[in-house]
Amino acid sequence: MEKKRIKLSIMGISFSQVQAGAYALIFSEENGIRRLPIVIGTPEAQSIAIVMEGITPPRPLSHDLMCSIFKELDIKLIEVVIYKFEEGAFFSELLLEHNGNEYRIDSRTSDAVALAIRTNSPIYTTEEIMQNMAIIFDEQAASDQEDSSKDVDENSDEEELSELRLEALKHRLKDAVNEENYELATRLRDEINRRENRS
């Protein structure tokens, strides 16, 4: 039975103040309130950001080059699928079409997204990944709790998460989401998942 697929849109990229040289790429599900943050490196973030901001580099970047090759050889990027999360990494594949044949190519998620955004190709993930890794962002709840979320310790990123109780982690996750601090939310989510999978 084929897994249920969720279509994703790129919300934006946020700078990580915790992990030097890293960014969080934020996806939102189509017609939903869940957000999927994926940590990516600086070059990949820049490659995605310049397209989002409508900037044309003086010379083609690697992803621009690949898209030029696709175009020249009449290869179409049908879709990108983020299909697995394992050992701290998201796994993706490109579905390519050439001369009536389809090819599935393994790819880093950041590279797959950089290509998808250049070719206006859809990006999907599985319901399982969304259930396990996504963060629910309820804008109404966020505005209701705006005052309390301001009290969150800015340095909580630096705290040893393993020392916090599970309920405290969940509370901090809620506050981090309300503040749209997705990078901290990602770390909290991972620690919660680790604890719950252990029990």
Residue-number span of the structural domain to which 51 is assigned: 5-133
**For residue 153, what pLDDT is reported?**
43
Residues whose CB falls within 8 Å of the CB of residue 22, separated by 6 or more in sequence, listed in order: 16, 39, 40, 41, 42, 183
Judge if 165 and 113 occupy the same domain: no
Judge if 145 and 66 occupy the same domain: no
pLDDT digits (tens, 9 = 90+) for 40-97: 888 888 899 889 888 888 888 899 999 999 999 999 999 999 999 998 889 999 999 9
| Cα gap 37→24, rounded to integer Å | 6
| Cα gap 9→28, rounded to integer Å | 5
> Could you tell me the pTM of the whole model?
0.70
Judge if 53 and 67 occupy the same domain: yes
**For residue 168, what pLDDT is reported?**
77
pLDDT digits (tens, 9 = 90+) for 43-57: 888 899 889 888 888
Which residues sit opposite 82 in a β-bridge?
92, 125
**For residue 97, what pLDDT is reported?**
97
Judge if 32 and 15 occupy the same domain: yes
Cβ atoms of 76 and 70 closer than 8 Å: yes
Closest to 190 measured CA to CA, from 134, 115, 113, 107 = 134
